[in-house]
Amino acid sequence: MAKVTFLGLGVMGYPMARHIAKAGHDVTVYNRTTAKAEKWVKEFGGKFAKTPKDASKDSDFIFCCVGNDNDLKEVTLGYEGAFHSVKKGAVFIDNTTASAKIARELFKAAKEKSFGFLDAPVSGGQAGAENGQLTVMIGGENKDFEKAQDVIKCYSKKMKVLGPAGSGQLAKMVNQICIVGLVQGLSEGIRFGQNAGLNMEDVIEVISKGAAQSWQMENRYKTMIQDKFDFGFAVDWMRKDLGIAMEEAKNNGSDLPITKIIDGYYADVQKNGGNRFDTSSLITRLKKK
């Protein structure tokens, strides 16, 4: 069993670290709010550290799942950052959804210190994290992935190296671009059906077996019909991710017309108080009879 560090115990990191500990690894955790790290240790064992630097000493694998580029820089390169103590030959696995730019910067910094770095954002939301069923999109070197894959497997159902450093983050951008179009289409379809007087439970039962089927339909249609939106990835976080994708699109010359429109729709949801609603809350913008 490996010595593992996990930095960041949010709604995703908390259960991800739990799966690693339950697999028998020796886990040290760090969280900006120490009380949460203490709570995690009481539940699952291991130990906690008060800084990323202290948490990462002597570990074979260091996992990280924080909010954004700035948070990531702080826990890696900051004054008490993990990169000041990661040992040679270890692998740093970053599960944060961040920019490809920061992933490449951290890969280079890790190389200079003789340890590996994988950008490895995840998809599957809080439920996927709780159930250990996340999809992991990975950028970096195969040799580092081969070292780390058995530990990553603790919380994932699918993982794949997609190219050099930054490729995992780019793939996550593709993932989010695809999702928002599906959610908007599902929202419009459900509202149309409701306003037409259809029983949407019955309708979805039928069309979910055909070409309209999607993960969003299978997992969100019931709560969307009921106007309940406390079941996963928050609007605030989706807007953060779409901002990253649209910025990257400027760099690579891509047009994202639908993504830009739906980002504006999510801004409407925020204005109406839905910052913490899950992403299926796009339907709240649409008139209901």
Which residues are catalytically annotated?
172
Phi, psi of 157 (to 5 degrees): -110, -20
* Structural contact between residues 250 and 216, judged by C-beta atoms closer than 8 angstroms: no
For residue 273, which phi and psi values (nearest 5 degrees)? 90, 10
* C-alpha span between 154 and 127 (Å, rounded): 15
Four-residue CA torsion sign, 147, 148, 150, 153: negative
Q: Could you give the angle at which helices 100-112 and 167-195 cross, rounded to 10 degrees? A: 150
Q: What is the token pair recorded at 225? A: 């019909």
**CA atoms within 13 Å, Cβ hemisphere of 231:** 13
Residue 151 CA from chain centroid, whole number: 17
Structure tokens at 74: 């702080």
| Identity of residue 239 | R
Q: What is the rounded distance in angstroms from the CA atom of residue 159 to the CA atom of residue 173? A: 16
C-alpha span between 67 and 142 (Å, rounded): 26
Q: How far apart are CA 205 and CA 128, in angstroms?
A: 23
Q: How many helices (H) and strands (E) does the chain have?
A: 12, 9
